[in-house]
Amino acid sequence: MGKRVGVVDLDLEGPGLHVIFGVSDADIKATINDVLQHRVPVSQSVVDLTSKIQLKAGCLIFCPAGHKLDEILSILDSGFNLYTFKRVLEDLARDYNLDYLLIDSHPGIEKDTLLSMALCDYLVLISRVDQQDLFGSGVMTEVASQLRKPVVLILNMVPSSVSEKEAGKIADRLAELFHLHVLTALPFNSDVLENLSKGVFVLEKPKDPLTKRFTEIAMRMLEAIETGPSDSLSVNPQKSQPIA
């Protein structure tokens, strides 16, 4: 699609995006933990993945989180504030001329999750169709509503016993219940499970039908961000749009 995209791993308690992207310790000069603790500028934490994943247009940069025990404990102990995180995102967006900045945070209402929600322009929730996940999504939707953030929901790992028509009905009920836009419902796929997070699925299996679905989701997501879902608040336009 030719977009300039940044990804920040803000799952500080259990980071894992570096594994999916194939980023080794040798590739990492610094982490987002170091940046948030004022040890290094954000540029030192950036890993440029554009060549690695052979993008023909646009770019992809990645800021990994510290995955060593001492790094995790240190950031959980010291924390970080809204101003610091806001400045980091602004520096990334400006210095790398980003169109979109994706923030991957862990589930649940934690301080870093709330900070991400407070600063993002758009919130994407991914939920399975079990009671625990849906309850959590409902709580997150309520928080997003208080923060006046547009929300879309993606249903994931829908059991094979649930037909596409039934999944659509579930999505419609959730949209009405939570007052949000359900972007799509993805069926459970054993190929993704067997991939074991060893790589980016759409790059590993470009001809897989699910890759086509992911591409369609990305296009619909861009459209939703640009136009705003009909039942959500519109997004203030700006050059780089943080998405949590």
Give yes or no: residues 78 and 181 share one domain: no
Give yes or no: residues 98 and 184 share one domain: no
pLDDT at residue 2 tops 70: yes
Which helix (H) or strand (E) segment holds residue 183: the answer is: strand 181-187
User: Is position 206 within any domain?
Assistant: yes
Write the DSSP string, 60-71: EEEEPPP-SHHH
Range of the domain at 188: 123-238
pLDDT at residue 49 tops 90: yes
| 120-158 tens-digit pLDDT | 888 888 888 888 888 888 888 888 888 888 888 888 888
User: Is position 127 within any domain?
Assistant: yes
Give yes or no: residues 82 and 135 share one domain: no
Give yes or no: residues 129 and 109 share one domain: no
User: Is position 231 within any domain?
Assistant: yes
User: Is position 243 within any domain?
Assistant: no
Strands 59-63 and 47-48 come out as antiparallel
For the chain, how many structural domains are there in total? 2
| 61 residue type, one letter | I
The candidate with the shortest Cα–Cα distance to 40, out of 63, 20, 17, 18, is 63
Give yes or no: residues 7 and 63 share one domain: yes
Give yes or no: residues 94 and 141 share one domain: no
**pTM higher than 0.85, yes or no?**
no
CATH number of the domain within which 72 lies: 3.40.50.300
